Amino acid sequence: MEFELIHRYLRRLDSGAGIILGVGDDCALIAPPPGRWLAVSLDTLVSGVHFAEHTPAYAVGWKALAVNLSDLAAMGAEPGFFTLGLTLPEADEGWLSGFAEGLFALAERERVPLVGGDLTRGPLAISIEVHGWVTPGKELRRRGAQPGDVLALTGPVGAAGLALRRLQAGVSAIPPGLRARLDCPEPRLRQGQALAGRAHAAIDVSDGVAQDLGHLLRASGVGARCELGRLPLAPEVAAHVAATGDWSLPLAAGDDYELVVALPALTAAELCAELGLTAFGEVTAAPGVAWIAPDGREYRPDRGGFDHFAP
């Protein structure tokens, strides 16, 4: 049964450039492109923790791959291939079929083959490892931001969090564009690759821009001064902030999977124009982050972002 299910739903798109051996042996085999570094990232999504129990299977499949590809994007890496560890409570073929549709919709669009993995019985969870390639010295690390750098985002923050809040409040009519930000995030692969060797540092926003920017700044040994009024926001998020004065949604809700990048001051304007980035702050030599509200006063975020083991 286990092998039939793998064969029927998951053995698809398992070949491609450099893939010597895909699904079906003890290991997959890959011929690395000469002169490049391998980038790897493993992320696990657990039902009821990373996605609500009744999330459509399609969205679970898409998102599980998207959040991993987002890590490659944040490194400026080109996607190579991925592996999947899927744990299912029962052999629910309807669910598995929807999951595979979402997963392969993104995998096929980005031409990232699934080369192997594991299907087991247990509480619903998905582990994916993505593998990509970067040119040595051009990778985007968290460390590397310099005083004077411009901080920019590849897209709006807070929309995934707003969709989640509305879902949790039982709101049924959520605009599809807002819902898509939660269910089917877009990994910023093209921007990440275009910034490789050109940005000083990057991170993807999974736990909220306040927390993830903090990681980047601490790794770089610097601080920042940011303007809340320049943060890119979806219209619904802008309306929420205007109505409540509460910035925690764009700052700390997480799940956005945009990239925060530190750009050299000299080329920042050009890079923002070329790649559709929005500048929202500046790196400072002094540590810590000052968030300046539109009225000019400093805003202090309440919480730092998502922590799986917060007391």
Q: Using the rule CB under 8 A, which residue among 79, 98, 116, 187 binds its own copies?
A: 116
DSSP state, residue 213: H
Closest CA to 232 of 298, 153, 301, 161: 153
If the CB atoms of residues 142 and 166 are measured against its own copies, the closer one turns out to be 142
User: Position of tokens 């291939």?
Assistant: 81
Query: Phi and psi dihedrals of 10, rounded to 5?
Result: -115, -10
CB of 132 to its own copies, least distance (A): 7
Site string for its own copies, 190-229 (x = CB under 8 A): ------------xxx--------------x----------
Asked if residue 271 lies in contact with residue 263, where contact means CB atoms within 8 angstroms, the answer is: yes
Q: Using the rule CB under 8 A, which residue among 21, 167, 289, 290 binds its own copies?
A: 21
If the CB atoms of residues 87 and 278 are measured against its own copies, the closer one turns out to be 87
User: By CB neighbour count within 10 A (0-12 exposed, 13-18 middle, 19+ buried), where does 21 fall?
Assistant: middle
DSSP state, residue 285: S
Give exposure, 176-197, as e/b (b: 16+ Cβ within 10 Å): eebbbbbbbbbbbbebbbebbe
- Residue 14 interacting with its own copies (CB under 8 A): no
Token code pair at residue 123: 């509480």
CB of 175 to its own copies, least distance (A): 29
- Residue 63 interacting with its own copies (CB under 8 A): no
- Residue 27 interacting with its own copies (CB under 8 A): yes
- Residue 235 interacting with its own copies (CB under 8 A): no
| Sequence-ordered alpha helix ranges (H) in 153-260 | 159-168, 176-183, 189-195, 209-220, 235-244, 248-252
Token code pair at residue 66: 């998207």
The footprint of its own copies on this chain (CB under 8 A) covers a number of residues equal to 70
Q: Using the rule CB under 8 A, which residue among 123, 177, 221, 287 binds its own copies?
A: 123
Q: Using the rule CB under 8 A, which residue among 15, 32, 235, 293 binds its own copies?
A: 32
Q: Using the rule CB under 8 A, which residue among 11, 12, 14, 43 binds its own copies?
A: 43
User: Position of tokens 């598995």?
Assistant: 96
**Residues found near its own copies in the complex (CB under 8 A):** 1-2, 5, 20-21, 24-32, 34, 37-44, 46-50, 71-72, 74-75, 77, 83-88, 90-91, 115-123, 125, 127, 129, 131-132, 134, 136, 139, 141-143, 202-204, 219, 307-311
